[in-house]
Amino acid sequence: MDIAQHIVASSLQLFYRNGFHATGVELLSREAGVTKKTLYRHYPSKDVLIDAALALRHEQFMTRMCTFVERADAAQRPLAYIHFIANWVQEDDFCGCAFINATAEFAQSDSAPHQQAARHKGEIQAYLLSLCASAGAQQPEVVSTQLFLIGEGLIVGSQVQQAQRVALVDGAQAAAQVIWSASL
């Protein structure tokens, strides 16, 4: 891993745990083990570093999600998406969705983080649509939207109501099963 990759990877972890605005350049450089001058040589502004961190998070998340989902039989992959989300929200280091968090901090729809979040969520929706169509859903657009909303609700609910994660996971999985069964 080169210095630029190391900086962005360590920055992503800080942004995810602490938030984008709350994480200063001093902490970012210290955590990466580089001087501020070195950090700025690779990332001329904090905004450029945030863009790079979100791009890395998108790549990591999509790879992890697709790997998990595609282990399931094609007919079960739409539900495997919900199982993936259910497993993720129960991890010890779960701090919500970096993209949902970014839109909360960068509420202007024309801001770069907000636009990256919209593209990320759009790619997930397109992936779910392809899974539902391949698995034989009668109305893949409708079902994929419903499953997407269940997943997003589970992410936000689990971040906000950490003590209720198990009940939220159980409810999301049960709702997804009902929707999926009705779609075939």
**What is the per-residue pLDDT for 86?**
98
- Alpha carbons within 13 A on the beta-carbon side of 54: 26
Q: Any idea which residue has 């609700």 for tokens?
A: 153
**What is the per-residue pLDDT for 126?**
98
**What is the per-residue pLDDT for 41?**
96
**What is the per-residue pLDDT for 112?**
96
In whole angstroms, give the CA distance from residue 68 to residue 79.
Answer: 11
**What is the per-residue pLDDT for 95?**
95
**What is the per-residue pLDDT for 1?**
72
Residues of the chain with pLDDT under 70: none
Q: Any idea what DSSP says for residue 75?
A: G
